[in-house]
Amino acid sequence: MINQKGNDNANPEPIKSRADNTSNIINMIIIDTLRDPLLVIDDYLKILWANRSFFEFFQVKPENTIGKEIFAIGNGQWDIPELRKLLDEIVQKETVINNFEVEHDFPIIGHKVMKINARMTNLIKGIKGESKEILLAIEDITDARQKEMEDKEYEARFRRLFETAQDGLLLIDHLTGKIVNVNKAIVELLGFSSEELLGRSLFQVGLTKDAKFQNILNLLKDYGLIKYSPLQLITKAGIRINTEVNIMNRTKLIQCNVRLITDENPSILQPSQQTLV
């Protein structure tokens, strides 16, 4: 008679352990191919593993990285106070860190702005909990942050020019045809307050009765710049004034530059004369 009791008490741990190890290996193979740099460090802040992108991006060698304290690699280039505080918090509290930004000047790769995500893991030591491990995912957002700064600087310069321009300026939303911004010069020229102009179309405000002008606005998708002269506008006081209007097609807005003129001869630039902006 075969005793089944021994089989019932058989320890399945070796099989489970092999399965877990296999799973970890597969996970590491997958993340080794990821674009963003990844690191696994232990609770002593020594690097247990790094993916290919880490070595390529930070221009360090595996033999000078694995087993080293993270703050010691690359001649101390990772000794960043914000990062020290971040890692200490993760080790002590086992917290999850999302989108933590670090800005630093590296000796080899220069100035970088990085977004760091970090959490506890068991990729290297397995599920037995032999030591705490931290997985760090590093995203380089330097170019995106630079573009963001350039956009803000451009917007600030444009706003300064917009507010101080001698010509009257109107910004009109492409989709709605509503006025979204006006400068001081157009307010003084027409006598309407900015509150009376914003959120309404030129025709709703009663600035012009010129039906041809509406057709001209429709041509902007084909031509970046159209000059229309004269365009008769009606001030708040009911005075009719002749103006020269330069209409520019921008990404989301139509920019109208309005200048008071005395020339009575209407003219529309031909396509060959129009300049794309």
Task: Tell me how far apart the alpha carbons of residues 204 and 192 are, in angstroms, rounded to a whole number.
Answer: 13
Q: Are 76 and 151 in contact (CB under 8 A)?
A: no
Task: Tell me how far apart the alpha carbons of residues 23 and 79 are, in angstroms, rounded to a whole number.
Answer: 33
Flag the least confident range among 159-168, 195-204, 218-227. Answer: 218-227
pLDDT of residue 24: 58
Between CA 10 and CA 18, with CA 13 as vertex, the angle to 5 degrees is 130
**Mean pLDDT confidence for 244-257:** 84
**Mean pLDDT confidence for 9-38:** 61
Q: CB neighbours of 276 closer than 8 A, spacing ≥ 6?
A: 223, 224, 225
Give the number of other CB atoms < 10 A from CB of residue 49. Answer: 19
Task: Tell me how far apart the alpha carbons of residues 269 and 275 are, in angstroms, rounded to a whole number.
Answer: 10
263-271, long-range: CB < 8 A, 24+ apart: 263/229, 263/230, 264/230, 265/229, 265/230, 266/228, 266/229, 266/230, 267/227, 267/229, 268/216, 268/226, 268/227, 268/228, 269/225, 269/226, 269/227, 271/222, 271/223
User: Residue for token digits 């902006």?
Assistant: 277
Q: Give me the count of residues in the chain.
A: 277
pLDDT exceeding 90 applies to what percent of the chain?
A: 19
Query: Domains of the chain by range and CATH?
Result: 5-145 (3.30.450.20), 165-273 (3.30.450.20)
Structure confidence at residue 132 as a pLDDT band (50, 70, 90): confident
Pick from 51, 249, 245: nearest CA to 167: 245
Structure confidence at residue 94 as a pLDDT band (50, 70, 90): confident
pLDDT of residue 255: 87
pLDDT of residue 233: 86
pLDDT at 84 over 50: yes
Q: Are 97 and 119 in contact (CB under 8 A)?
A: yes
Task: Tell me how far apart the alpha carbons of residues 49 and 135 are, in angstroms, rounded to a whole number.
Answer: 9
